[in-house]
Amino acid sequence: MNGTHSGNETPARQENITGDSLELISIVIPVLNEEKVIGRCLECLKNMTFSRERIEVLVIDNGSTDNTTTIARTFGVHFPVTILEKKGVHISALRNLGAAHARGGIFVFLDADCLVPKSWLSIATKVFETTCAGVIGGYYQIPEGSSWVARTWYPDDEVKKSGAVAYVPSGDLMITRETFFRVGGFDETLETNEDYEFCQRVLAAGFPVLAFPELNVIHLGVPQTMGHFYRRNRWHGKHVTRVFFRNIGSLHNARAVFFAFYVLLCLTGITVGLGLCAIGRFEILAIALAGLLVGPLLIALRAAIARRELTHVFPLTSLYLLFGISRAACLLDFRNWSD
């Protein structure tokens, strides 16, 4: 799919926009059992150096069973808060539902576990006023006191990205109402990688995607342990392959998919090699083990040199190895390959 949208009718419900609504910013926050973080997220919105009269917040619930929506409602004394519910759908459908009910001329998609800077919307509105950007946003910063896992995987140079990029994460993504409906909204058939796929359609429609470090948010949900890191990437890689196979010629997600196939080949070699050890043949096992370690090591070495942090080589190697194994596991579920 390139430049079109399927499996989703909600974004077609575009309304005529008045001059007043162009001044209004609609912040869409999808939630599912976020009682531990939603209050901190909304508190940051309350503390922004931006007129509260110019924002509305739409909290789109996927069927929470905790106090998420109760906490969200308490912020209604500070700015309009609308609670909508749609159970059992992907997060992309929640965002589309929020967009369908939003009244603003600019849509802001924010995750419940993200903390925004005070000047977040002040800067964003100036960008839209002075550029022809299709999508703008920032990358995730890690919380203070993060573990070596988060510090290694999310380096400072990553969050300093500025200018034209392939995508910005949908937990910190902003777009005008007109452009959102023109490209068809988020693809509701995708559980993950929907932000990358969405931004690729925006680019295909002729609109730039721009990152601004000033728009970065603190992401409370970044993995802090190797176990969480594996589970996160095992989930996130679920539909990366699907986006790749939809349009192979575009090579979307190519590096991640090729690396996953490489690791899967090495793991297959190790399995076969272990069987051959019974008859005294150890070559396949040795080659496969070497390949499994050398691939991540070379990628880690390149990244460490780019960062000028050679002490990161071995921590990065362990994370790239775990990343590759998690993405290789995604390949084994062929339901993730196509719609």
Domain assignments of the chain as residue spans, ordered by start = 10-221, 244-336
pLDDT tens-digit series, residues 34-88: 999 999 999 999 999 999 999 999 999 999 999 999 999 999 999 999 999 999 9
Task: Return the closest-CA partner of residue 162 out of 123, 129, 200, 195.
Answer: 123
Give pTM, 2 decimals: 0.88
Task: Report the C-alpha gap between 90 and 112 in whole angstroms.
Answer: 15
pLDDT of residue 158 exceeding 80, the answer is: no
pLDDT band (50, 70, 90) for residue 242: confident
Task: Report the C-alpha gap between 87 and 32 in whole angstroms.
Answer: 9
pLDDT of residue 245: 79
pLDDT of residue 5 exceeding 60, the answer is: no
Token pair of 284 as six digits: 């396949």
pLDDT of residue 12 exceeding 80, the answer is: no
Interval 261-265 mean pLDDT: 96
Rg over alpha carbons for the chain, rounded to the nearest Å, is 21
Interval 304-328 mean pLDDT: 94
Query: Do the Cβ atoms of 94 and 62 come closer than 8 Å?
Result: yes
- 10-221: in CATH 3.90.550.10: yes
Q: In this predicted model, which residue has the larger pLDDT, 242 or 168?
A: 168
pLDDT tens-digit series, residues 194-237: 999 999 999 999 999 999 999 999 999 999 999 999 999 999 88
